[in-house]
Structure 1
Amino acid sequence: MTVDGPGPSRARRVVVVAYPDVELLDVACPGDAFASATRCGALPGYRVELVTAGGRAVRSSCGITLTPERALERVPPGVDTLVVAGGHGHVAASGDPTTVEQVRRIARDSRRVVSICTGVSLLAAAGLLDGRRVATHWRHAAQVAAAYPAVTVDPTPLYLRDGRLYTSAGVTSGLDLSLSLISDDHGPALAREVARTLVTYLHRPGDQAQISMFLASGLPDDAVVRDLANHISSHLADDLSTERLAARAGVSVRHLRRLFARHLDTAPSAFVRSARTEAVAYLLSTTALPLDAIARRCGFRSTETLRQAFRDRYEVTPSRYREQEFRCQSQA
């Protein structure tokens, strides 16, 4: 997998590390995001290459075999972004001295170091995460924490940044993180264009929960609730009244409320309010849009309604939140 940007000598080098039993999406999500950014006009663009220990082809967890461009041991200095993918083979890979030493070597002078899902194990084994708070897939968080007690593993956020180190939760959160990195490099407009190219909704903010507080016991089994939750998240500016949602689902308002209470432990209106407020937080931290524009985009009738919902959720005003976020970004 190699993608050259305009003017190869100027392209940012993105090295993706894979190993046997790697998760294919953990490789493809960042790879395709950076490649799409190049095709969308990123200057400088990105040159993505896949590497493995010994340069050997590896079989992914879904059965597809990946052929690397070069051996991990032969990656030259000057890497812009080092990405370590996750997968069921992360335990074996993090126990391989050659792989761990080469990850440590490459990370030493890379501009930024990224792990997707359980790829965090390799960074931890390389001693790069001691004393740091990191993200990984909620299902594997306890395992990683037990293996690396010097690392604080947080199973909640989609991704975390600590200086030049970035860690993310499983599979598609790697796409969210990649879009965030593209936004850092080239601005939110290009990141949005990449998101549109990949036919994905605006990338989710890192502090959004992997499993929403409404889904803390697991994703809902009920098809009606699951469909509506997805619809809400991708149609925030629409009429999402309980009556309209009930009509979409073909059930009564009373029955819809019972379904949400049973499967999400909340009311439909509260779920909508939280989804909209999370989207506001994302736009405040990644764009310079005025508050009235954000209110319209996220489905709030007025800026005052937005402010009240935001204070209830984050215990801070939107303006203060944006100020804090921009300060953190400028200091990073």
Structure 2
Amino acid sequence: MHTSPKTIHVLAFANVQVLDVTGPLQVFASANDLAASQGLPLPYAASVIAAPGGAVMSSAGLALVAEPLPTQASDTLIVAGGWGVYTAAEDQPLVTWVREQAAVSRRVASVCTGAFLLAASGWLDGRRVVTHWTRCEQLARQHPLLKVEPNPIFINDGPVWTSAGVTAGIDLALALVEEDLGRAMALEVARQLVVFLKRPGGQSQFSVTLALQNDGQRFDDLHAWIAENLSMDLGIPTLALQAGMSERSFVRHYRADTGQTPARAIELIRVETARRLLSDTGVAIKRIAVQCGFGSEETLRRSFFRVMGVTPQAYRERFSAER
């Protein structure tokens, strides 16, 4: 039975980030190409839209040709990000249109700072959301009804999807394709785009050590040392000695500077290293547990599940480059 293609509208504006628009569009275009090669109906009808339409200049200096804002419902409305989003979020007719269009769309998404425009419409109130890691605090401050999470690549909360910065829009679009057409098609699209691993939404959008950095860089050398010595006993006495501080002072300053307890930071660094070994190597999980300082495979499994939401074995099966 023939089914009509799903309408994907990607909302752009002056000074939009070009990859926020073209990344997701290419995912849907590649899904169409694969469907056509198999003699199947095209699953998507994707287009760039803007007010009032016509040429839209991106922040990269590349002009995009956009259609006017549609009057019909979108299957999926995607709001792109970029430096121009803050001006767009103050354009009340555009904000009203986003609010009304979101209400009649099957699902709504934002890429990177596009969350600011979607938040201005009120459509993100009460939902878990993410944006580029450098803008999470600003988003939470400006829109206190949002549940902003700084780490994930993307978040799906009901019919609303939000993604982290720039290339995370590709991850989000692949997740939408998986929801529509199944995992096999999403993985084939990823292969066509030479995206070697289809990253899970819960994967952090930046490294743990980057997340723990601060303006004073007080503990950057310590984090580098930790990453090189994960198999050691990394208790407070060892860490304080390495940092050249008393134990009490170390604990107080570490939490104030990084927002994490030392124990939690160690766990996150160990899990991140384990995740990399699981996806990039064929090293046995028991050996990974020892290398990363977990001691036992069971301890690794518990920590890994607590941080990533899946077991090490399941993660390797889904995201390993070795298979």
**Structure 2 matches for 1:1-332, cutoff 5 A?**
10-41=4-35, 45-68=43-66, 70-72=67-69, 74-77=70-73, 79-217=74-212, 263=224, 265-267=226-228, 274-275=271-272, 277-278=274-275, 299-301=282-284, 308-315=299-306
How far apart are residue 152 of structure 1 and its match? 2.3
1:21 partner amino acid: N
The worse-fitting range, judged by mean Cα deviation, of 181-190 and 159-168 is 181-190
Rounded to whole Å, the distance in 1 between the matches of 2:310 and 2:211 is 26
SS of equivalent to 1:57: strand
Rounded to whole Å, the distance in 2 between the matches of 1:19 and 1:207 is 29
Rounded to whole Å, the distance in 2 between the matches of 1:188 and 1:139 is 31
Identity fraction in percent:
38
Structure 1 gaps, min length 5: 1-5, 219-258, 281-294, 323-332
The worse-fitting range, judged by mean Cα deviation, of 163-172 and 52-61 is 52-61
SS of equivalent to 1:209: coil
Rounded to whole Å, the distance in 2 between the matches of 1:181 and 1:81 is 9
TM-score computed with the length of structure 1 as normaliser: 0.69
Larger radius of gyration: 2
Label 1:144 to 1:297 Cα distance change in 2 as closer, same or farther (>3 A). closer
SS of equivalent to 2:199: coil
Length, aligned pairs only: 260
Rounded to whole Å, the distance in 2 between the matches of 1:160 and 1:57 is 31
How far apart are residue 299 of structure 1 and its match? 2.6
Rounded to whole Å, the distance in 2 between the matches of 1:264 and 1:98 is 53
Query: In 2, are the aligned partners of 1:113 and 1:164 still within 8 Å (CA)?
Result: yes
SS of equivalent to 1:139: helix
Rounded to whole Å, the distance in 1 between the matches of 2:94 and 2:151 is 28
How far apart are residue 16 of structure 1 and its match? 0.3
The worse-fitting range, judged by mean Cα deviation, of 177-186 and 35-44 is 35-44
Match of 2:250 in 1: none
Query: In 2, are the aligned partners of 1:60 and 1:66 still within 8 Å (CA)?
Result: yes
Would you identify which runs of 4 or more consecutive aligned residues in structure 1 move more than 3 Å?
A: 259-265, 268-280, 295-298, 302-308, 315-322
Rounded to whole Å, the distance in 1 between the matches of 2:181 and 2:286 is 29
Query: In 2, are the aligned partners of 1:24 and 1:62 still within 8 Å (CA)?
Result: yes
Query: In 2, are the aligned partners of 1:276 and 1:298 still within 8 Å (CA)?
Result: no
Match of 2:217 in 1: none
After superposition, the C-alpha distances for 1:101-143 in whole angstroms (9 at most, x for unaligned) are 1111211111110000110111111111111221000111122
Label 1:200 to 1:163 Cα distance change in 2 as closer, same or farther (>3 A). same
How far apart are residue 151 of structure 1 and its match? 1.6
Label 1:150 to 1:67 Cα distance change in 2 as closer, same or farther (>3 A). same
Match of 2:243 in 1: none
Rounded to whole Å, the distance in 2 between the matches of 1:264 and 1:194 is 39
The worse-fitting range, judged by mean Cα deviation, of 312-321 and 38-47 is 312-321
Label 1:152 to 1:315 Cα distance change in 2 as closer, same or farther (>3 A). closer
Report the RMSD for the aligned CA atoms in angstroms.
3.3
The worse-fitting range, judged by mean Cα deviation, of 95-104 and 313-322 is 313-322
After superposition, the C-alpha distances for 1:156-179 in whole angstroms (9 at most, x for unaligned) are 111111100001111001111111
Rounded to whole Å, the distance in 2 between the matches of 1:260 and 1:10 is 56
SS of equivalent to 2:47: strand
